[in-house]
Structure 1
Amino acid sequence: MAGLALPVVMESGSRFAGDDVGVAGLRVAIVCSGSGGMVHQATSGCDRDRHRHDIGADCRARALGGYHADPTSMELPMSLSMHAASVPVFRQMLAALAGVLAKAETHASERKIDPVALLQARLFPDMFPLARQVQIACDFAGSVSARLAGAEVPAYDGGDASFAELQRRIDATLAFIGGLDAAAFEGSEQRELVLRPGTPKERRIGGQAYLLAYGLPQFFFHVTTAYDLLRHNGVEIGKKDFMGAY
C-alpha cells in the first residue's frame, strides 16, 4: 500500500535509525546479510559508539533495507496512508476544540462574562482573536483534506460572532472531511499541489510535504493558540481537553 514510510520503533520508544540502535537498558541484535549473517549487538554508551564503526555504512544500509529482529522487541516497518495521517487527526483535534469552546461558553455564563470578551481575546495585539483562530483551524482541516483527496475546497458562509456559530463551523468541517472517500487520498503523497496559483506567492509542493511540513503545523498552530487564549483567560481546561478522545 502506498503511503508514508515510518521508522522502526522499539518497545522503549526509541527510533531504529541504522547507526544509532542502542538504548539504555536494551540490547539490540541485528543480523546483517551483507556480513555473512554476522550478528551485531549494541547497548548504550561506548558499546553503541563502537557498534557504529564496526558495522560500516554498507551494513547499516542493508540493516535498514531488510533486517531480522526479534518480533517481540521491535515492530516491523509499516506504511501509513495519507488519509490516516490527516483526516483522523483533524477530526480528533476539532472535536476536542469543540469541547474546549463549550467549556469556555459555560465559563463565561457562570461568571457573567460577556462572551465577546473571550471570542475577541488576543494573546497579543498583532495576533488574531479567538474566533479567527478557530475559523482558520477549520479552514486548514477542510482545505488540506480536500486538496489531498482531489476535491473542491469547501466554502463556508456562516458567521463567527458567537460560540454557537463557531460550533456550527466545526460541525460543518467535521461533516465535510468525514465524507471524503479514503481511497481518494491514495497516491496523494506524490501529487504536486499548487498553492496560491497565479499570485506572487504561488508555490508548488508535493502532497506529502504539503501535509507534514505545511498543513498539519498550520492547523496545530491555530488550535493551540485557541486553547492558549482560553486558558490564559481563566477557562479551566488542561491537556486532556486539548487532545480530546483518542
Structure 2
Amino acid sequence: MSYATAALATYANSLSTLDHLVTKAESHETGEALLHARLAEDMFPLHTQIRFTIDQVMTALKRLGKVDLSTDDSDITSFADAHSRIAAARALVAETDPANWPASGDIVEFDLPNGMAFAMQAHEYCRDWATPQVYFHLMTTYTILRAEGLAVGKADYVGYMMKYLKQPAS
C-alpha cells in the first residue's frame, strides 16, 4: 500500500471521528456555547480545534494531492457549520486520487506563518507533519469534550475500528 493510500484512509477515519464527536457534542447541556470551551487559556477553543483538524487534512490534500483548494479560515459558528465543513472535507478525501500524489522520495517544502521553513520527502511530510497535526487537533477536540463532562471514551475516538470487530466465539 502506498503512503498516499494509507494517508487518505487515515484522514477519512479522522474526519469520521471528528463528525461523530461533533454529533455527541450537540447533546451537551451548554449547547453551542461548548464551541468556546478550551483546555487552557493559552489554547484555542473547541471551534478552532475542529477547524484546524479539517484544515490540516485540506492542507495535506493541497500539498500532496495537488488539489487546488482554499481553506475556510472563518470561525466555526455552529455544530451545523462544523458538520457541513467536515462533510465537504470527507468528500474531497474520497475524491482524491492517490496516484496524483508525489513519489515517496519527492521533496515537499513549506513555510509556516511564524517564518519557519521545512523541506522533507513526501512520505516524511505525511508521516511526520500532516498526520500528527490532524491527530493533535482531533485529540484536543476529544479532550475538550471530556473536560467539559461529555461522556466520550476510546470507542468514540476509534469508532472506525468496529468494522473489524469479530463476534466472540460460542
Structure 1 distance, partners of 2:95, 2:70, is 12
CA contact (8 A) 1:195 1:203 kept: yes
Q: Which residue is 1:185 aligned to? A: 101
CA contact (8 A) 1:121 1:129 kept: yes
Q: Which has the higher helix share?
A: 2
Q: What whole-Å deviation, never above 9, does each CA across 1:25-83 have from its counterpart, x for those lacking one?
A: xxxxxxxxxxxxxxxxxxxxxxxxxxxxxxxxxxxxxxxxxxxxxxxxxxxxxxx3022
Q: 1:214 to 1:240 in 2, by over 3 A?
A: same
SS of 1:107 mapped into structure 2: coil
SS of 2:70 mapped into structure 1: coil
Count matched residues.
161
Q: 1:154 to 1:147 in 2, by over 3 A?
A: same
SS of 1:85 mapped into structure 2: helix
What RMSD over aligned residues (CA atoms) do the two structures have, in Å?
2.0
Structure 2 distance, partners of 1:176, 1:206, is 23
Q: Which residue is 1:236 aligned to? A: 151
- Confirm whether residue 128 of structure 1 aligns to residue 44 of structure 2: yes
Q: Which amino acid aligns with 1:167?
A: H
1:145 to 49, 61, 82: 61
Return the TM-score normalized by structure 2: 0.86
CA contact (8 A) 1:133 1:223 kept: yes
Query: Structure 1: 5+ residue runs without aligned partners?
Result: 1-79
How many angstroms does 1:182 deviate by?
A: 2.1
Structure 2 distance, partners of 1:171, 1:119, is 18
2:7 to 65, 79, 86: 86
Structure 2 distance, partners of 1:237, 1:153, is 32
SS of 1:135 mapped into structure 2: helix
CA contact (8 A) 2:47 2:75 kept: no
- Confirm whether residue 103 of structure 1 aligns to residue 24 of structure 2: yes
Identity of aligned residues (%): 29
Q: 1:185 to 1:158 in 2, by over 3 A?
A: same
How many angstroms does 1:207 deviate by?
A: 0.6
Q: 1:89 to 1:213 in 2, by over 3 A?
A: same
How many angstroms does 1:198 deviate by?
A: 9.9
Q: Which residue is 2:164 aligned to? A: none
Q: Which has the higher strand share?
A: 1
SS of 1:211 mapped into structure 2: helix
Q: 1:124 to 1:215 in 2, by over 3 A?
A: same
How many angstroms does 1:159 deviate by?
A: 4.6
Of 170-179 and 141-150, deviating more is 141-150
Equivalences for 1:1-246 in 2 at 5 Å? Answer: 80-108=1-29, 113-116=30-33, 118-156=34-72, 159-185=75-101, 187=103, 189-196=104-111, 200-246=115-161
Q: Which is higher, the Rg of structure 1 or of structure 2? A: 1
Structure 1 distance, partners of 2:56, 2:131, is 8
Structure 2 distance, partners of 1:181, 1:239, is 31
How many angstroms does 1:204 deviate by?
A: 1.6
Of 197-206 and 169-178, deviating more is 197-206
Structure 2 distance, partners of 1:154, 1:198, is 16
Return the TM-score normalized by structure 1: 0.61
CA contact (8 A) 2:38 2:44 kept: yes
